[in-house]
C-alpha cells in the first residue's frame, strides 16, 4: 500500500509539473506520429523486413543508438529523391489529439519542442503541420552527395547519441532559462531524458513498451488525457 501511495503522489506531482511547465518536449516516432519513421523509410526503399529486425535488436539494448542507426541506414541507403518522395507519397500520420494539444499549449504560452532520434527532413514536415517553429526541432540529419546519393548522417548532432535527448533538454534549460520542462514519449530514450527533464509522461497511444509503462508515474494512452489536465487550471 505504501508503495502505491508514493506512486500516486508522484503522479499528482507529474500532473502539476505538466500544468505549470515552461516547455513541453515531445518525442516524434510513435508519439506525435503513429509510425516509426526509419521503418517507413526502409519499407519504402524495399528493405523493410531487414531493418525492422534490426530495430527490434536495437531496442534490446545490446547496441548503442549510434551503431544501430549507422547499421540500419547502411542497409537503407536512401537517396535524397527517395526521402522527398516518401514525404510526398506517404506523409507521416499525426496521432489523434496531438494538434489540439499543441494548439492548447501554445495558447497558454508554453513552448513546444520536438526531440527525435529520427530525421529532420521528416520531423520538419510534422512541425509545420503543428505550427511548431523549425528552430524548436532537434533531430538527426541525412548527408547526401551532390548527385543526391546517400552519404551518411551527421554524427555530431546530440540526437545521434545514446542520451542525446537529455543533452538537448539541458541545453534548452540553459539557453532559455526554463524552470520546468516536461518530456513526453513512448520509448526508453524519452524516459532516460528525465532528469534533466523535471517530469516524464509515458505515451502508449500507438505502441505500449512495458518497461516504459512500469517506470512512468503518469502513463497515458491518449492525448485527450493531457488536454483534460490542462482544462483544470
Per the residue annotation, which of 22, 29, 39, 186 is the catalytic one? Answer: 29
Instruction: Say how far apart CA 172 and CA 168 lie, in whole Å.
Output: 6
Is 89 a known active-site residue?
no
Give the Cβ contact number of residue 189 at 10 Å. Answer: 21
30 contacts 188 by C-beta, under 8 angstroms? no
Nearest to 73 by CA among 169, 8, 146, 151: 151
pLDDT in tens, 105-140: 999 999 999 999 888 988 999 999 999 999 999 999
Catalytic residue among 22, 27, 49, 190: 27
Distance CA 41, CA 51 (A): 10
| Predicted local confidence at residue 61, as pLDDT | 60
Q: Is the pLDDT of residue 6 over 70?
A: no
Task: Name the residue with cell 493531457.
Answer: 226
CB 106 within 8 A of CB 131: yes
> Strand 181-185 relative to strand 199-203: parallel, antiparallel, unpaired?
parallel
Give whole-number Cα distances, 44 to 78, 86, 212, in Å. Answer: 9, 7, 29
pTM to 2 decimals? 0.88
Q: Which domains does the chain have, with CATH numbers?
A: 11-35+93-231 (3.40.50.1000)
- The Cβ of residue 6 has, within 10 Å, a number of other Cβ atoms equal to 11
- Predicted confidence band of residue 233 (pLDDT cuts 50, 70, 90): low
* Tens digits of residue pLDDT in 61-113: 667 778 888 888 988 989 999 999 998 998 889 999 999 999 999 999 999 99
Whether 160 and 113 have beta carbons less than 8 Å apart is answered as no
Active site residue 103: no
Q: Is the confidence at residue 7, as pLDDT, over 50? A: no
Q: In sequence order, which residues have a C-beta less than 8 Å from that of residue 65 and are 6 or more positions away?
A: 58, 117, 160, 161, 162, 164, 189
Amino acid at each position: 500500500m505504501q508503495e502505491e501511495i508514493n506512486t500516486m503522489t508522484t503522479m499528482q506531482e507529474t500532473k502539476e509539473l505538466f500544468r505549470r511547465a515552461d516547455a513541453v518536449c515531445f518525442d516524434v516516432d510513435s508519439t506525435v506520429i503513429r509510425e516509426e519513421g526509419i521503418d517507413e523509410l526502409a519499407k519504402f526503399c524495399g528493405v523493410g523486413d531487414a531493418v525492422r529486425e534490426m530495430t527490434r535488436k536495437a531496442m534490446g539494448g545490446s547496441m548503442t543508438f549510434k551503431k544501430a542507426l549507422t547499421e540500419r541506414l547502411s542497409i537503407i541507403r536512401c537517396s535524397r529523391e527517395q526521402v522527398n518522395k516518401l514525404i510526398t507519397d506517404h506523409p507521416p500520420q499525426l496521432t489523434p489529439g496531438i494538434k489540439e494539444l499543441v494548439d492548447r499549449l501554445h495558447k497558454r504560452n508554453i513552448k513546444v519542442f520536438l526531440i527525435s532520434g529520427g530525421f529532420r527532413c521528416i520531423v520538419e514536415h510534422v512541425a509545420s503541420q503543428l505550427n511548431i517553429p523549425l528552430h524548436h526541432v532537434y533531430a538527426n540529419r541525412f548527408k547526401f552527395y551532390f548527385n543526391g546519393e546517400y552519404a551518411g548522417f551527421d554524427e555530431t548532432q546530440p540526437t545521434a547519441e545514446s542520451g542525446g535527448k537529455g543533452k538537448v533538454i539541458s541545453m534548452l534549460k540553459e539557453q532559455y532559462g526554463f524552470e520546468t520542462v516536461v518530456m513526453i514519449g513512448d520509448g526508453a530514450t524519452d524516459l532516460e531524458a528525465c532528469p534533466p527533464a523535471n517530469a516524464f509522461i509515458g505515451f502508449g497511444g500507438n505502441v505500449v513498451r512495458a518497461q516504459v509503462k512500469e517506470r512512468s508515474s503518469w502513463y497515458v494512452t491518449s492525448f485527450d488525457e493531457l488536454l483534460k489536465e490542462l482544462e483544470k487550471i
